[in-house]
Amino acid sequence: AFSADGRFLLVCSGRSVSVFSTSTGMLVSELEGHEGDVTAVVVVPPQSSAAAAAKLATHCWTAGLDGFLIYWDFATAELVRKVKVDAPVHSMVIPNISKKLKVTEVYAPFAFVSVEALSNKAIQDKAKGKPVAKKKELWGQLRIYDLWKGCQVGSELAQTRKPEKIVVSCSGEFLGIANKRHLYIWSIPTKDFNHDNIRKIKLGHTKKLSTLAFHPSERIVAGGDATGRILIWRGFGKAKFSGTHCAKSQVDEERDGVRGKDDAGTCTTWHWHSSGVNFLKFSSDGAYLLSGGMEGVIVVWQLDTGKRRYKPRLGSPLLFFVDSPDSSISCVSCTNNQVHLLNMPNMEVLKTVSGIKMPIASGDLSRRDVCGFDSTNGLVAIPTQDYCIQFYNLFENTEVSEVQVCERNFQPVDDITMYISLVSLSIGGNLMCTVEVKLPEEELGGLVTLKFWNQGSRAGQFHLSTVIYEPHSDAGISAVAFHPGKNMAVSSSFGCNFKVWVQSLALQSSDGKSQSGWRCQSVGSYKKKPMTAAAFSGDGSVLAVAAESVITLWDPDNNALVGVIAEALSVFIVLSVVLLPLY
């Protein structure tokens, strides 16, 4: 969510909310108070009174899986108030609602929340001591909470199979959810609010609906489904929400694309996305509809004609789109843990806020953690799914840089054909080694590549030095480690050997410049056993290589076996060598 003046962006980050400056993209503060993941943040709606608007300009509500709604002053990161819900909250909206107090109408904060709660049958079974099958009995409920009084208002608006995301219109007059093959839409009396006056309609579809959006000024609602289709219902709720028979007869006459007895005038279908639609958002003037999904592309649809244009690929599937109150800036969040700040309406990326990117997930990756650490500069090096190494500062909680390891076009919807299996950094952070694996297609064409990198002008910046294809024939690499005091490295393989690599200077004939390269100095093995881990001692005098459940000790300079540690009960996959003085 954006602050009322658009100067700050509030982002749910685990159990806290991170507040970023939209002008610099830097972290300003964090709101810490939830004991479960934060699932929603809502900035207090602007008030008609200038004094009230100024007072509440830096206030927001958050909701979390810990079952609490918390009121904050995010300018000072101060927790102001807590409201207990007694159930994990998965979604929350706070429409701009007023309530009559004596003779005047004042702003009344009512939260509509989607919670995870047990069904009545499950509650009865639990009271009787019977076991509760959570996967079958968990229900989603839509509830209303009076945030002034801190209590629930009335009964549940709806019960669903699981908690669903709530979407509210700009005016607060309508809210809705996508539940299976239907959109459920409620009309909310925003003036002199009374929960007994809330009315509901249902719009149907043949496929599972995943998201929805309301037009800013007209009775138009858009829904996106799991197959990539977008449906536009015009004139929804004319019969039920207006309460006149005349309006109902008009709806009955205009049935273009509308299913059954759905309360809408017409329904139009668009299709571009190849898979599910993750978000829909109307432009502030209502002339365009924006959509996004797995393709990593923002599609801009002209509402009147259905014509479309595109924001080029953002490199990762898109999740959410949020616009700011001044309409000149918006943001889009991606599955790679990035939030892009966009200049509207041309959607140029102004700033990118990056969290730690998750590594690629594949059934072929049965390996352990493959991250590298630059202890000198306090950086962690993380292989990402788009064939990069992300350098992240754990102390400042910011991304430092990205290094493109594979020059390969990456599309989020592609099948996994390649991944980075290992990354290792020298103690000083000036050298890096990566291992990339190209998966075989129909059991043909697999390739393991070892790459050495030299640091550039600053920490986290690297340029490629040496590429070695299939360094251990067709065997996979189990570990890579750098010598602590010299430009030497070791790679161990499941192909029953290890290799010691050294860096040397070679003269390039093309431009006459001296450039470093890496070559194999020696090869070692032990009883034809797979080598599963490797590490140098702190002073570099000993190289330890695990041959499955046996640890072998070597002199790295002359490749001589100097000792063997007795066999263990299981296979070693990580080694760390510490030499203790004898006295």
Would you list the domain boundaries of the chain? 167-355, 372-565
Question: pLDDT band for position 20 (50/70/90)?
Answer: very high
pLDDT digits (tens, 9 = 90+) for 163-172: 999 999 998 9
Q: Which residues, 6 or more positions from 414, have their beta carbon under 8 angstroms from its beta carbon?
A: none
- Overall average pLDDT of the 280-299 stretch: 93
Distance CA 278, CA 211 (A): 6
pLDDT higher at 68 or 445: 68
CA angle 52, 193, 72 (to 5 degrees): 40
Decide: 142 and 166 in contact? Cβ < 8 Å. Answer: yes
Question: pLDDT band for position 459 (50/70/90)?
Answer: confident
Above 80 in pLDDT, residue 134?
no
- At residue 580, the pLDDT reads 46
- Got the DSSP string for 52-116? HHHHTTTEEEEEETTSEEEEEETTTTEEEEEEE-SS-EEEEE----EEEETTEEEE--EEEEEEE
Identical topology for domains 167-355 and 372-565: yes
Question: pLDDT band for position 251 (50/70/90)?
Answer: very low
Q: Which CATH class is domain 372-565?
A: mainly beta
Above 80 in pLDDT, residue 441?
no
Greatest alpha-carbon pair distance for the chain in Å reads 99
Question: pLDDT band for position 240 (50/70/90)?
Answer: confident
Question: pLDDT band for position 582 (50/70/90)?
Answer: very low
Among candidate residues 552, 540, 546, 536, the one with its CA nearest the CA of residue 574: 546
Distance CA 311, CA 318 (A): 12
- At residue 583, the pLDDT reads 45
- Overall average pLDDT of the 132-159 stretch: 83
Question: pLDDT band for position 245 (50/70/90)?
Answer: very low
- At residue 56, the pLDDT reads 62
- Got the DSSP string for 12-41? EETTEEEEEETTT--EEEEEE--SS-EEEE
Above 60 in pLDDT, residue 47?
no
- Overall average pLDDT of the 441-449 stretch: 79
Most confident residue range from 120-129, 207-216, 310-319: 207-216
pLDDT digits (tens, 9 = 90+) for 156-209: 899 898 999 999 999 899 999 999 999 999 999 888 888 888 999 999 999 999
pLDDT digits (tens, 9 = 90+) for 100-129: 555 555 667 899 999 998 766 666 666 667
User: How far is C-alpha 77 from the chain's CA centre?
Assistant: 24
Percent of the chain with pLDDT over 70: 83
pLDDT digits (tens, 9 = 90+) for 562-580: 999 877 767 666 766 655 4
Above 60 in pLDDT, residue 48?
no
- At residue 363, the pLDDT reads 42
Round the average pLDDT of the chain to a whole number and report it. Answer: 85
CB neighbours of residue 460 within 10 Å: 22
Above 80 in pLDDT, residue 311?
yes
Most confident residue range from 83-97, 387-401, 411-425: 83-97
- At residue 246, the pLDDT reads 45
Structure tokens at 252: 């009955």
Above 80 in pLDDT, residue 501?
yes
User: Quick one: residue 102, left, alpha or beta (phi over 0 = left, psi -120 to 50 = alpha)?
Assistant: left
Above 80 in pLDDT, residue 499?
yes
- At residue 433, the pLDDT reads 94
- Overall average pLDDT of the 253-278 stretch: 87
pLDDT digits (tens, 9 = 90+) for 515-556: 678 999 999 999 999 999 999 998 899 999 999 889 999 999
Q: Which of 250-254, 372-376, 500-504, 556-560 has the lowest mean pLDDT?
A: 250-254
- Overall average pLDDT of the 387-406 stretch: 88
Fold of 167-355: Methylamine Dehydrogenase; Chain H (2.130.10)
pLDDT higher at 54 or 315: 315
Above 90 in pLDDT, residue 372?
no
Question: pLDDT band for position 5 (50/70/90)?
Answer: confident
- At residue 370, the pLDDT reads 73
Question: pLDDT band for position 360 (50/70/90)?
Answer: low
Residues in the chain: 583
